[in-house]
Homo-oligomer: A and B are copies of this chain.
């Protein structure tokens, strides 16, 4: 886990930079605080991370921030649509930017998480709609399986 001071290179998607958070909060009568900015930065920075990982990251910039605040803030950021959480298969949910629409591929052998574009699911989504009247949300849940590396290892042993 690195400790550098939160690069902002990719921190500004088309629809909003740092002050966009302030605006979004104010629209709903909520307040801008350093903690909220730090949590959002951490989520963007880490890609997809558990509340605890996010907390660690935040604390590397502001050690006084409590994990309670991280939980509350993630919940809030999700309610106002800035982040979303995904269930990667094990216990902890992971949070990422709302805009980052991708499918998670989780190897249940080594735990590695890969991302693929959501259009991978287009065919499946169409079939689900036709056959089961089900509108798929491709980025919410991860697909489980075995990655290349683990497959190779297994083959070597047999």
A: residues with CB less than 8 A from B are 87, 89-90, 105-108, 114, 116, 120-121, 123-124, 127-128, 131-137, 140-148, 151
If A120-B127, A135-B151 are given as contacts, then 16 extra A-B residue pairs at C-beta distance below 8 Å, sorted by A number, are A87-B89, A87-B141, A89-B141, A108-B140, A116-B132, A121-B124, A123-B127, A124-B143, A132-B148, A133-B147, A134-B143, A134-B148, A135-B147, A136-B144, A140-B144, A141-B144
Q: Which residues of B contact A89 (CB under 8 A)?
A: 87, 140-141
Q: Which residues of B contact A90 (CB under 8 A)?
A: 87
Q: What is the CB-to-nearest-CB distance from A95 to chain B, in angstroms, rounded to a whole number?
A: 15
Known A-B contacts A120-B127, A123-B123; A114 and B132 likewise in contact (beta carbons under 8 Å): yes
**22 examples of A-B residue contacts, CB within 8 angstroms:** A87-B141, A89-B140, A89-B141, A105-B134, A116-B128, A116-B131, A120-B127, A120-B128, A121-B124, A123-B123, A124-B124, A128-B143, A128-B145, A133-B151, A134-B145, A134-B146, A134-B147, A135-B146, A135-B147, A135-B151, A141-B142, A141-B143
